[in-house]
Amino acid sequence: MNTLFRPLDTNLQILNHSETPTSFLIVIAKETKSSCCPLCQRSSERKHSSYMRIIHDLPIQGKPVLLYLRTQKWFCTNVDCKRRVFTERYPWLLPSKRRTKRLEEMLRTIAFSNNCVQASLLCQKLGIDVSHDTLLRLVHHTEIPVECSPFCRH
């Protein structure tokens, strides 16, 4: 089970896992002694609290995977920083998102290769519960690189 989450973060620990008839539930945590403030980048060792985040990940055997991530909150020790309390950041998860980056990339690929209604039906067959409106939002929020054509006179 640990090898499934090795690409996300090598420091993640699986605390518990279970399988229901409709999904996989996995409780994970990252034990750290400190974390950097996202605003001032100063490291802090003063823990504030912790809470659980529910994150959707890539499906396994056609079943959705729900990651219950124990996330730490920290006090910022920089007196000049505007942020007093901050949440630990993860490179594989955007702040305030409920999907892993790898799941979001898969959804983006499916949405760009089909129309969003067909993409939503395909996602349901793969075990990803997502609406066509969500896929459409992903398409609209995707930054498409501007490439100059050899025929363009810019």
Q: What does the pLDDT look like over 73-94, one tens digit per residue?
A: 999 999 999 999 999 999 999 8
pTM: 0.83
Same domain membership, residue 36 and residue 83? yes
- Report in angstroms the alpha-carbon separations of 2 from 6, 14, 16, 53: 6, 7, 11, 19
Same domain membership, residue 113 and residue 82? no
Structural domain containing residue 32: 1-92
Q: What does the pLDDT look like over 5-60, one tens digit per residue?
A: 667 777 788 899 999 999 999 999 988 899 999 999 999 999 999 999 999 999 99
Same domain membership, residue 77 and residue 11? yes
The CA distance from 43 to 36, in Å, is: 4
